[in-house]
Structure formats: structure tokens, C-alpha cells
Structure 1
Amino acid sequence: MTGNGRVVVHADADALAEATAARLLLALVDTLSLQERADVVLTGGTVGIATLAAAAGSPLASSIDWTSVHVWWGDERFVPSGDADRNEGQAQAAMLGALPLPEENIHRMGASSDFATVEEAAFAYAEDIASEGAPAWDVLMLGMGPDGHVASLFPGHEGYAATGADVIAVHGSPKPPPTRVSLTLECIRRAKRVWVVAAGAAKAEVTARALHGDLELPAAAVRGTEETLWLVDAEAVAEV
């Protein structure tokens, strides 16, 4: 346990993905035993997509009523639908296409082939969230970049400090592609459970800084109302 949440360490990235997948599925089972629907926010990245693939292949997946699960994203690259950079396409291939999830339960962020501007895509996603009752996300998963960014909230970037909205348009992302849609920090903090998933030696320095509360890093500022977990491999916490 740190001042910035509980830390769970796994041996390597593969073990992290498998364990996080099991944790996600169990969280959905528990949530649906207490309420009629569950809202989960997915993340991309190597470990994030490996987690989704492990979840799809788990025997636990068959114990979930997927018609009661709604799937969202923390951020998305504003590129055409079908582009390999799209988080939702990777998630579709890794997990969503293998599960009996109704299409209307999959809340994809807008693509540049569907919206003239990223602002329009961000507004549409905010409208989608509002139309579903502005869910207090049951599980919100975040990957973390080597610079300490989460979703598309980057250190020193104006999006990190954005207030008064659930969704923002991001221009000039330090990591390509430069134009994105992202949940805001305010929206992320509405989640019941926030899980930051990180693996690899390249994340070691920023993991240590974030866990020690360095608020220059967006990863240090995220938290859940009921649970904040850092799900990491041994290399990612080598400098903690």
C-alpha cells in the first residue's frame, strides 16, 4: 500500500495480463450480483490488449451476463475507423468479438471518418455518457506511458488540467497520432475502481514518481472512489 493506492506486483507482463483479466472478470461477476448493469472502461496498449485477450479466453467469461455489461474507452486516436491505431479495433479483435456483447452496449469513441472535427467526436461521446446516466464506472482501467500519461492526459498538456467536462478533444499529443479524444481527470475520478496497469523497465522511474505522489504526472492524480489499484510487473516497480 502507498499513499496513492494499493500496489499488486506480478512476475512479468504475461502474468500481469492473465491476473488482471481474472480480476476484471471477477469484478464484473461481483458487480452484477449487486446491480443490474456494469460499466467498464477499457484501455489499449500492449498489456491492456493482452489483458482483454486473456479475459476472452478465460472460463470465467461464460459466467457473466454480457448483455448487462457496457463497455467504454478512456481515450481514442482520432483516425479513420478501421485504422490499426484505434484502441477499439484492437479491443474488438482481442475480446469484444468473442463475447456475446450487444453492439448497443459497446460505446466507441468517434473516428475521423465519422466526424469532421475531433471536437465533434468529443461532444458526441460526452452526449453518449450523459444519455446513459453518466455512469460511475464500475471498473476503469488505465495504461500508463513512460512519461506518466494516462488516457490521453499528458504531463504539462492543457488536457490534464481540463475541468467542467467528461470528455475533451486533444490536440498536439506528445505521442502520435497528435489528435485524440479523452476522458478528463474529473470523469476518471468518478469511477468506483481505478486500475493503473503498467509493465516493463521503461515505466520504472515514472511508476516510482507516481506512487510517491508527483502530481506533475497524470498517473499520480487518478483514483477511484472505492478502490485505486496499481497492477504492475516486477520491472515496473524496480525503482520504488
Structure 2
Amino acid sequence: MAAGAPRGLVSVFPSPPELGASLCQLLLQEEARALASPRRRFALALSGGGLVSLLARELPRAPALRAQQWLLAFCDERLLDFGDPESTYGAYRTNLLSKISIPEKQVLAINPSLPVEQAAEDYARKLKEEFPEDDVPIFDVLILGVGPDGHTASLFPDHPLLEEEEKIVAAISDSPKPPPERVTLTLPVLNAARTVVFVATGDGKAAVLKRILETDEKDPLPAARVQPHSGRLLWFLDEAAAGELTGPVEKHSVL
């Protein structure tokens, strides 16, 4: 991460199930906070991958969930039909959304039938309509993953999109990770959130997490560039992902 930048609070759990249960507890706490505020809405942005199964296992069982008052968006999306198994929205639609009673009109997704640049512009328009008073959308919670190369959302190392400061949504047509065409939130949106949570599991993430969390780099990896301006930064890791960390962490036992 950038020299002197705070790394956030690192929480380590015995395994993904314990991590998932605590993540859902956090979402319920932040939901309650948001719904008690003048906004009366809980704005959440999710990433895909393994996060889908973590949330699908826990959230439908949460008795206090008030998904009818959610606004749900996605941190990035592949330009694929929603029926494709690699579609983030498609995965959530199949595994979670039908189980938590969130109104369809409150789920913001890309239009995968558009060319990638138009899909990004259309998604940005949808976000601006939902956050009319904000220059940059401010999510209550934004949950990110991190790749073994340090990418997050669809922001990849050494890519020009890391320098984007004007657009809230960007198209990428040369993703080093297939498929090449994607739509992603930009760093200004990620860093505007009230709470950002990185979720990482498995020993395949251990080396890059040590680099992000315990190394100062002149040219930080994309995940290390996520430093909320006024919000908080949390890391939820299982023991395997945290295996190479030597700094202080908050360890959690089985709930």
C-alpha cells in the first residue's frame, strides 16, 4: 500500500463459514444504521466470485433482514448474458436475490446486450439516478474481493483505469482475466463508500495480502489503492488467506 496509508482493521476467521456469518452480522448492523438515518435506505455494492456462496448461505437465514429497503448494485460485471455461469448478477439472481425479497427495481445491473462502452454509460446513468445529490455515489457498504495479482473489481495492475478520476463507471475491453469486456466501478466510487470490506479466503491469496497489507510500495496494487476518504476499511480473511501476515490482526473464534 502507499507509504503511510492506514491498512484498515484485519479480522481473521477459522474458515469461510465463520467469516460469512460475521460478514452477514456486519451487513445487518450497517443496514440498521442506514435505515435509521435520514436516507432510510441501505445502499450496498457487491462483488462476485466466492462472495456469492458466502452470502447466499447466510443472508436468507437472517431474521432481521429488511431487503425491501435495499439498493443493490455490483462493483463490476462481465459483459455476458445473465444466464452465463460467469455473470455476477446472474449468480446472485440464482442463488440469493429470490430468497431475500428485494424488489427487482432496486437491483441495478448492467445491460449486457449493449456494447461495452455503452453498457458502462448506461450503468453510470442508473447510479446517478439513484444518487442524485452525490457527485460520486456513496454506498453504505461496498464488498470487494482481491485477486492473486492484487486486482479488485475489474481494476487490474498497471492498467490506465487506475488513474480514472472523472468517470464513476468505466468500460474495460482488454481485461487480462477473461472475459476481456467488463464494466467496473472506479476508484473514486470505491473510496467514497462509508464502509469498504475486502473478503479473501484460501492460501492462494496469502502472498498478495502480505504484499498489500505489510509492504509500502511506490506503485501500489489496485486493492491497496482502496482507502476510503472518510469511511472505514475492513479486511475479512480466513486463516489460510492470512497465513503469511506477521502484523497485528483481530482473530475470531467459531461463533
Please indicate, yes or no, whether the TM-score normalized by the shorter chain is above 0.5: yes
Percent identity over the alignment is 34
State the 4+ residue runs in structure 1 displaced beyond 3 angstroms: none
CA distance in 1 between counterparts of 2:62 and 2:23 reads: 14
Q: Is the 8 A contact 2:16 2:54 kept in 1?
A: no
**2:144–2:152 Cα contact (<8 Å) kept:** yes
In 2, Cα distance between equivalents of 1:23 and 1:75 = 22
Structure 2 equivalent of residue 148 of structure 1:
150
User: Aligned partners of 1:121 and 1:59: how far apart in 2?
Assistant: 34
Which fold has the larger relative contact order, with Cα–Cα distance below 8 Å and residues 6 or more apart in sequence? Answer: 2
**Structure 2 counterpart SS, 1:182:** strand
Long gaps (5+) in structure 1: none
Residue number in structure 2 paired with 1:43: 47
Aligned-residue RMSD, C-alpha:
1.5
User: Structure 1, residues 63-82: CA drift from partner, whole Å, max 9, x if none?
Assistant: 23322210000000011231
Give CA deviations for 1:188-232 in whole Å, capped at 9, x if unaligned: 111010000001111011111111344431111113322100111
Q: What is the total number of aligned residue pairs between the two structures?
A: 233
Q: Distance in 2 between matches of 1:51 and 1:68?
A: 21
**What residue is the counterpart of 2:253 in the other structure?**
none
Say whether the 8 Å CA contact 2:45–2:142 is kept in structure 1.
yes
Cα deviation, residue 52, structure 1: 1.7
Contact (CA 8 Å) 2:43, 2:140: kept in 1 or not? yes
Q: Normalised by the size of structure 1, how large is the TM-score?
A: 0.92
Structure 2 unaligned spans of 5+: 246-255
TM-score, L = length of structure 2? 0.87
What is the CA–CA distance in structure 2 between the aligned matches of 1:39 and 1:130, rounded to whole Å?
13
Partner residue of 1:123? Answer: 121
Q: Which has the higher helix share?
A: 1
SS at match of 1:237: coil
Following superposition of structure 1 onto structure 2, how do residues 71-150 of structure 1 map, counting pairs within 5 Å? 71-111=72-112, 114-115=113-114, 117-133=115-131, 134=134, 135-150=137-152
Of 19-28 and 180-189, the range deviating more from structure 2: 19-28
On the 8 A contact 1:156/1:216 being kept in 2, the answer is no
Shift of 1:184: 0.4
2:222 aligned residue = 218
